[in-house]
Amino acid sequence: MPAQLLEGSPVAERVLADVEVRVARLRQRGHRVGLATVLVGDDPASVGYVAKKHATCEQVGIRSIDVRVPAEATQSDLIAEMVRLAGDDTVHGYILQHPVPEHFDFNQAMQAMNPAKDVDGLHPTNLGLLALGDSGSPRPCTPLGIQAMLSFYGVPTDGARIVIVGRGPTLGRPLSILMSLKEPGANAAVTLLHSGVADIASVTREADIVVAAAGAPNMIKADMVRPGAVVIGGGLTWQGRRALSDVDESCTEVASWVTPRLGGVGVTTVAMLLRNTVEAAERAVS
């Protein structure tokens, strides 16, 4: 029997409905929630992601600010923008769109950010608080979106074996921390794999939940998945205008649930970004 789809849209709609109510409540108190995006260069995929974020902001009543840094700018120029936004009281949250061109240092720029406004949850302070299990600071959006998706569709995580393939700082690594925390929607036994592991399939076949987050198209195939497991494609690679998931379509023949190539983790990520933004605004004006 073909796998059921873990569609992201129903999850995102529920989150955004709550965000819209909270944004309106703040506006009634005289506070307009503001989110800024910092985009370095003009990578087509990144331009598209940023446009989606701004469109969703408009949908829920959040003021969006589009900050562009030219690819020919310097690291100092980028840091100056990060510092400027940190002191702008009309901006309650901001993000640096990842990745940045090779001659920029993403981590250094992130350290210039105000952690309280880091609504991507990627500042070292917020990642450290995540490791401590602190629930009052911003958490990374894509891991949050995956967790929300599992909860929405009733996929149990308490004591489940979760294997994450990919150890990147925006998804694989923070997701491994999030899902191992002793709290509802987590409390799993998590294994984090990477390209240096000799036999990835021998580990993924033992998992209840497989999360592909390596940015390697079609790397997770049906013979790497235990029948009935849940498979989530967190990595996406663009080849021209076509987006390729880390999860091969053959997985639908063995998995119980699987994310679609499009309309899965991406839409929940944006929803969680806006939820983080309204929460940052609530903390700022409380």
Q: With the C-alpha atoms ordered 197, 198, 203, 209, is the resulting torsion angle positive or negative?
A: positive
Active-site residue identified among 118, 120, 208, 248: 120
Alpha-carbon distance 31 to 90, whole Å?
9
Contact criterion met (CB below 8 Å) for 181 and 187: yes
Alpha-carbon distance 276 to 144, whole Å?
10
- Determine whether 120 is an active site residue: yes
Instruction: Tokens for 169, please give them.
Output: 């700082």
Active-site residue identified among 18, 28, 43, 53: 53
Cα–Cα nearest to 12, from 43, 45, 48, 55: 55
- Determine whether 118 is an active site residue: no
Contact criterion met (CB below 8 Å) for 72 and 103: no
Bridge partners of 65?
Answer: 36
- Determine whether 59 is an active site residue: no
Active-site residue identified among 42, 75, 88, 97: 97
Fill in the amino acid letter for 242.
R
7, burial (CB in 10 Å: exposed 0-12, middle 13-18, buried 19+): middle
Just list the catalytic residues: 53, 97, 120
